[in-house]
Amino acid sequence: MASYDGAFNDTVVMEYGDGFPLLMPRWGYVVSAFVLFIIGFFGFFLNLMVILLMFKDRQLWTPLNIILFNLVCSDFSVSVLGNPLTLISALFHRWVFGHTMCVLYGFFMALLGITSITTLTVISFERYLMVTRPLSSRHLSSKGAVLSVVFIWSYSLALTTPPLMGWGNYVNEAANIR
């Protein structure tokens, strides 16, 4: 019969980098930085290609593409505003841009993230209506698409602005790289 000894000798070694606890191994920060670079690189150039293509060819401005353009702009903004700051923080193993930039970064990443998610929701709902009511004469118009984009940004701002006004707050994430 096997017996069980409940005594364990578990030791957690916490490294410190520049006075901040490292919540993952140093190589984890390097891997994070590399992955963020790849995502940021492709996010920047591929979304930029779509933006340039949309401006080059006016025939692409269909109602659905207006909403897709909103998604592309939101994701492009994340690759321009968010990825470089997070990549640098990963390389330094902590947030290095100060409290004000932390708050602004948190606001903009939340705003752009909610904008992207809400845009995908609107696209899904529009596709749902196209599949379930294909013969309906009430399809999305250009005006409806623009109003949807206005709704998406208004909704996103309504959700992300209160922490700037003191109702909640934006703070560092667990690994201190935002």
Among candidates 114, 116, 117, 89, which has minimal Cα distance to 101?
89
pLDDT band at 53 (very low <50, low <70, confident <90, very high): very high
Computed over every residue of the chain, the mean pLDDT equals 85
Q: Is 2 helix (H, G, I), strand (E, B) or coil?
A: coil
Per-residue pLDDT tens over the stretch 64-118: 999 999 999 999 999 999 999 988 888 888 888 888 899 999 999 999 999 999 9
57: DSSP letter: -
Sequence-ordered alpha helix ranges (H) in the chain? 26-56, 63-77, 83-92, 98-132, 142-160
Per-residue pLDDT tens over the stretch 14-27: 555 555 667 778 88
Among candidates 46, 125, 124, 31, which has minimal Cα distance to 78?
46
User: Structural domains in the chain?
Assistant: 22-165 (1.20.1070.10)
- Give residue 12's pLDDT: 47
pTM comes to 0.81
Give the integer Cα–Cα distance in Å for 26 and 91: 9
